[in-house]
A and B are shown apart, each in its own frame.
Chain A
């Protein structure tokens, strides 16, 4: 309510204040409005191209205006917001401020605002009435402005002393500024500017008085703000109305111009263009005003809109009589460009204008140089169209952009006298003379790169399952075409530096690497038996993508100096190789590049590319039957469970703690467009199947090994999930298929396994996605057969005395040599304790592998050993407690140093220990034992200690044990075996020694050693 009330009063006061103060001014304003209706050109001609300073200051004044409005309606939060913006804007215009000094109006608002706030602050009652938000904002704002104003103390003080003067100064300066800049524009303005000056000197007094008032009265101060705008924008027309003579002359000028405009299209066009800008400004003002003065303002402003039909505008741009030459056009261009990036600029209109300008220059045959320049700017402004980095181009804009770039390239190709480059300075440009070479500032490469990025953005933002995506994807051809043409252009001598060539090559590579070259594939397969015409078509198709990749990448390897381009090129090259099943090339390139070592330092997009490459490499290895390589390549991606994210193919749902909105946006921008995606299900299936082929035989071989490690956690996880199922139906998903197949394989049942891995469902889901489906399937069947055979032998070798290879061959449908080689390999690797009997073609089992019961007993023995150790330790501790200062750790340390296998030393040590322990309960006992010890008879006590030592050895590292198991098994066996002399519970230890250590160490070690010698 209060808001509306305030707005009402605002517009009223606007009128009233202008009406009150100087009577001549009131008609002036009305006249202005009229003049707007009649001929807008009048003021338009007075418009000048504004300098950066103007631009900045305008921004500031606008902000100040809103602040004043907010002040008026006591909207403190708005005030605070705007003030912060103002501070920022002011900071932005720092350079100008440095040059020009702090603008007085800025000081004014600071001072006013402070006064106002203090006033509000004092008004306790008013404060109470304020809502919470406002009150909070008030206090923050007050603090802020206090702090802020400290920097401008002197200025504010001087302003407060003499508000009038400073205001005066400002006005004057403004006028002079605009006047002088308008000088350069056209001659008639000269007179006007003079007039303006005159009027300007007249104008200030009322303004100043207003300020005085404004300080006291907020309402009028806001209207003051409005008026300020008026002053700066329309002071020309105001002045016209105030000064009759001035007005008439200006009118005359206007009139003249108007008549002339009919004669010359271009002149009017230019005017219109100006006008349009003007109009835009008006619109903006209107928008702002709308909030405050809806009813009143709208009606009037509406007319303005109607009065300026957009259609007509295009036709006029240059003044009549102006000779259309290069300089004029360039000037015009600069004018247009100046509006670029400004807040109120209508970007669409700007593009239109630039197009119009291009047409004009075309019609007037101004030469290619200028055209190129304009084209550059058109494309740039097309890119500028979206202020937001995340937003993507609209379809029509995109088309326009492509057309423009195509045209630009046409020009460049047709005219080899044009030089373009980003480092050609604006002054050294040569756009006009035909005799010399054109020199144009601008970089076509950057534009094309940007275009490419835009294309990616468009693809990212389109629903991949819609027709629209397909339509958009059709543009890929054009994009590639443009890149190709640019490549050809830059490859021409003296056109592009090597660096630029590298960049454009990379673009080309980026558009090639992920595409499967079917033609080359067909050719490689030797499918030339088709019709002659088809062959011809194939031949005319140009080189294989492989050759292109090779050529481009090699150029980059040789010439590139930035690491990033080379890295990307290598990765793409590898990807391309992998995609086309050139496994060895791909692998060698990957290994040679050493990318694995330092990829973690690269930026995320490169890392994503790296991940994609690794995955592709893994899939390639799988196709080639290199199961282990495939597994290793995919392990990193798959084990994290974030394959989707790592490949840039989608975001994982995560809570906001891990990622805020900003990060999410960034991540979204990194996503790979859908048509480049790698099928995740295929990826997972390949990984799981290779894990199955590796893991199942491994599991079978190490069924009883307590220290068995998993090859693939992911795979085990899937198996566990499968086991947890209460009811096992026929497999549905890909994972279930793999799990079911794994189970079958565990039993050595390769037929079932085969039918689970390769069937209709899996074909349609996974295998058909490969280019050489049949080969892959054949390879898989073979692998399944082989691995099943191995698994079978591992699992069931204990129940066979001997088995004929003939039978195995039939069981697994493998050739005899294959069976033979597999079994031989297993024997060599000591996986299978057997020998081959050549004459009968049978495998004779040695039956040395312990049965499951024996295994179990071994495990139990080991565990019991641990138990006894632990128990002993409890006992030791007891002793330590009673013995007083005897410290276990000390002893441990000593024993560790001892190394543990020196028996004699240990004995002596123990004697010493006995000495230490003399006061302990068991000390005496031990001493007695020491006597025995020498004889080597009763090891009982010592055995206890020794065990302890053993415990330490164990703890020192399982490494020691493992290490010993093979070669040094003798040590353990000996050591442990020694106890057997001891009686009682020591017998248990003896058992362990003899059974566990002795058995394992002795047997395995011996066997291994022997083997090593043999092979």
Chain B
């Protein structure tokens, strides 16, 4: 419990056991497919300014049949059982798989918020199986920025609220660097295995076909852009309505003032003040959080595409050079 005291300085680094990574990958391979995501709970400890994630366990896949499945109950049971076998039982976050990097969603925000609200150091690990299949393990840890935490706490998602908090899509999530640490014994084993493995196993990294991945990403990106457009149009109508109403309000008050002035000159009592806000009900402002999330998601996609293309370009140059060399 000593670590609790150091919580004021937030976690700067995350150290993951190889076991956790393997478990996550296995979980996805066994249960996840296509757009379906898998989720699970991370267990570990906070040591100084780093979060050590030492173990995890998966959530069972949701099906329609067992709607009455109690997740909390399940988690508690699991953690208690793990404690019995002397495994770290402190809840430090959760993990989720993703499909082409599409994870910035309302659901993720909400659950991460509730995690972070309860356990301040918790993070969400995003595992991208598709990128991993292409040869490079893609694992990222995210947590909400303090600003976003504030907003979520207040539940003020209006445009003004967001503006006041000075929050943009870039400042919603912060990534925490990850280090994967294995025991020495495992490292030794790895070295040994490296020696034995054939060359072909490593060549996935050099795969040149890119269009499929890019197409998928573009498709997703386009969908998001469409959503964004819709949101903007919505906001547009809202603000137009608002301004129209403001004009009306303005006119109304002016007319009232004129009339009152006339009445005063005639010596009549002024008209009673009416509640203007009742007469002009302001239109419901559209919540901006979704737009923000979409923007975040778009940003994410863009990053992905950028990353992917730069890698691919490199590969292409490599291939070209090789070809030139051969001929």
Q: Which residues of A contact B (CB under 8 A)?
A: 851-853, 856-857, 859-860, 863-864, 866-867, 870-871, 873-874, 877-878, 880-881, 888
Contact = CB atoms under 8 A, between A and B. Distances in A.
B221 interface: yes
Given A859-B222, A881-B239, 5 more contacts: A863-B222, A863-B225, A867-B232, A871-B232, A874-B239
Contact of A874 (B215, B221, B222, B235): B235
A873 B232 CA distance: 9
Nearest to B210: A853
Given A867-B232, A878-B239, A852 B211 contact: yes
A853 B221 contact: no
Contact of B229 (A851, A856, A857, A870): A870
B218 interface: yes
B43 to A, nearest CB: 39
A98 B278 CA distance: 73
B218 A853 contact: yes
B239 A860 contact: no
Contacts of A860: 218, 221-222, 225
B47 interface: no
A864 B228 CA distance: 10
Interface string B215-232: 100110110011011001
A558 to B, nearest CB: 64
Contact of A877 (B218, B225, B226, B240): B240
A877 B219 contact: no
Contact of A856 (B222, B228, B233, B239): B222
B20 interface: no
Contacts, number: 48
B290 to A, nearest CB: 15
Contact of B243 (A856, A857, A859, A881): A881
Interface in B241-272: 242-243, 246
Contacts of A857: 218
A888 B241 CA distance: 13
Contacts of A871: 232
Nearest to A882: B243
B219 A856 contact: yes
Most buried by B among A851, A870, A873: A870
A877 B247 CA distance: 13
Interface of B: 211, 214-215, 218-219, 221-222, 225-226, 228-229, 232-233, 235-236, 239-240, 242-243, 246
Given A853-B211, A856-B218, A860-B221, A873 B236 contact: yes
A853 B215 contact: yes
Contacts of A870: 229, 232-233, 236
B243 A867 contact: no
22 contacts: A851-B211, A852-B211, A852-B215, A853-B211, A856-B219, A856-B222, A857-B218, A859-B222, A860-B225, A863-B222, A863-B225, A867-B225, A867-B228, A867-B229, A867-B232, A870-B229, A870-B236, A874-B239, A878-B239, A880-B243, A881-B246, A888-B240
A881 B215 CA distance: 41
A864 B225 contact: yes
A379 to B, nearest CB: 72
Nearest to A885: B247
A877 B228 contact: no
Contacts of B225: 860, 863-864, 867
Given A860-B222, A860-B225, A863-B229, A874 B243 contact: no
Contacts of A863: 222, 225-226, 229
Contacts of B222: 856, 859-860, 863
Contacts of B229: 863, 866-867, 870
Nearest 4 Cβ contacts at the A-B interface = A870-B232, A856-B218, A881-B243, A853-B211
Contacts of A866: 229
Contacts of A874: 232, 235-236, 239
A877 B221 contact: no
A863 B242 CA distance: 27
Given A860-B225, A867-B228, A877 B236 contact: yes
Contacts of B233: 870
A856 B215 contact: yes
A852 B228 CA distance: 23
Contacts of A856: 215, 218-219, 222
A853 B214 contact: yes
A859 B215 CA distance: 12
A866 B225 CA distance: 9
Contacts of B214: 853
A935 B37 CA distance: 56
A107 B32 CA distance: 93
A703 to B, nearest CB: 13
A178 B222 CA distance: 97
B253 to A, nearest CB: 15
A883 B239 CA distance: 14
Contacts of B228: 867
A296 to B, nearest CB: 76
Contacts of A852: 211, 215
A437 to B, nearest CB: 88
A795 to B, nearest CB: 16
Nearest to B231: A870
Contacts of B219: 856
B83 to A, nearest CB: 44
A968 B232 CA distance: 31
A445 to B, nearest CB: 69
A871 B236 CA distance: 8
B40 to A, nearest CB: 29
